[in-house]
Structure formats: C-alpha cells, structure tokens
Amino acid sequence: MKISSVVHMVEQDGIVQITMEDRQHKNMFSEQLIEGLRESFATIEHLPQCKVVILTGYDNYFASGGTQEGLLAIQDGRSKFTDLNLYSLALNCRVPVISAMQGHGIGGGFVMGLFSDVIILSQESIYNTNFMKYGFTPGFGSTYIVPRKLGFALAQEMLLTAENYRGAELAQRGVPFKVLPRTEVLQYAYKIAESLADKPTESLITLKDHLVASIRSELGPIIQEELQMHEKTFHQEGVRQRIVSLFGQ
C-alpha cells in the first residue's frame, strides 16, 4: 500500500511494515515524509488485523530529522516542533511499534525511533542528538526519552555534545538494545514481530497501554519545558548562522 510518494506500508499476517523512502531528502522530515507517516499511523488505527508495526528506512538512512527550512522556520518564530508531533506517533499507536533503525538516525529522526516499544540499531550507522550542534537546546521530547531509553549518563553526554555515535560504539557503551549488522536489522525485527503477532490483539493493546502509561503522562510537561528553552535559545542570531552554515555537515 503506497501511502505517499515517500512512505510505503504493507500488511501481512498482522504485521504492518512502514518504510520511509524519501531519497531526495535522505529521510529528513520533508512535507511528504511527515504527511506519509501521519497518514500511515492514522490508517493503522482502522486496521483491526494489525497487531504490530515495524518502522524502518531505506539503504543506510533511517530518519534524518528536520530539514534546514524547517529549522529556520522555528528560528524565525513561524513554527514549533510540536506542530509536527511526529515524536508521539509510535508512542500513541495502539499496538506495539518496532523501530528497525537499519540506517542513520539523526537528531529528531533518532529520537522518533526511541519512542517505539522495541528498538534495533545497526552497527555501522550513525546516531546522534545533534540539536546543540546548531546552538539550540534539544526538543522533540529528547530530554525525556533519551535518558529514559539510553540511561542518564550516556544521554547527558549525547545531548550536550551533539557528537556522532556508531551503533557499535553504543553497544560497547551498554545500550539496552539489539545492535546488529545493517543487513540483519529488518530480519530480526520480523522475528520479534512474528512473536508479537502470535498474541491476542487485546492483550497486546492492554499491555502496551500499561507499559507506556508513565511516558504518555509525563511527556507533556517536558515538551512544554523544551518549548520554553527554545524561546531562550532558538531565536539567537548565532543559531541562524549555524543552521545556514553547518547544516548537512
């Protein structure tokens, strides 16, 4: 099922695979990718046969975060990261979501994947929370979900430094996720998905609701705090210069 020109969705035996494939923008949050993701997750809500979702990218890209135009719009005060609300798609999905991050997860793209219920990384790929590279404080719920999923010490380092980390390095640092060669990530995701699809749908929904209840209830205030930090940090002239000069490097 083709949801948009850059997002494809297929369903078989209770497993829905959503593939992000915006080759022009390398899976940055383009308008087409945003529209496709939101439509995909909305469609899943009306697929009673769906028991589990696999979210993945193409080749060596999982998701690459905001576009330069999108970041400049926030810097100019024309938008906020909450306008997209991509970060909560997996969290609020009624069934479990597996992020098969076979490729690079950059900034908001990495954070979006962390909101899934099961996370798989690739050894070769780069993952980062690169917000501070451009001089503005992290958003997208990253100040909450990165420490929760990776542990405080590693998350604090990643958020402050905005440096790149290969999946193999994150495995050495003790992240609690499976980190596999890129060619094995999707295969392993299906292994987990098939195990989940064997369970009753209502039981999966009920257990997910219980497991993520604290995240859903605690995230809102954190998002507001991130927006308040953005009011202090995003609109500096130096930030605009960084977005213009450093984007894509």
Report DSSP state, residue 248.
T
Active-site residue flag, 230: yes
- Per-residue pLDDT band for 4 (boundaries 50, 70, 90) equals confident
- H helices of the chain, in order, are 31-44, 68-75, 89-92, 108-114, 142-150, 152-161, 167-172, 182-197, 201-211, 213-233, 237-246
How large a percentage of the chain has pLDDT more than 90?
94
- What's the confidence (pLDDT) of residue 85? 86
- Whether residue 137 contacts residue 162, with contact meaning beta carbons closer than 8 Å, is answered with no
pLDDT digits (tens, 9 = 90+) for 54-98: 999 999 999 999 999 999 999 998 999 998 889 999 999 999 999
Q: Where are the domains of the chain?
A: 7-183
* pTM of the predicted protein model: 0.96
For the domain bounded by 7-183, which CATH number is listed? 3.90.226.10
Q: How far is it, in rounded angstroms, from Cα 134 to Cα 145?
A: 20
Phi, psi of 3, deg, nearest 5: -80, -45
Q: Is the pLDDT of residue 186 over 70?
A: yes
Bridge partners for 12 per DSSP: 15
- Whether residue 15 contacts residue 56, with contact meaning beta carbons closer than 8 Å, is answered with no
Mean pLDDT of 164-193: 98
Q: How far is it, in rounded angstroms, from Cα 129 to Cα 242?
A: 16
- Per-residue pLDDT band for 248 (boundaries 50, 70, 90) equals confident
Question: 8-22, 74-88, 124-138: which has the minimum mean pLDDT?
Answer: 74-88
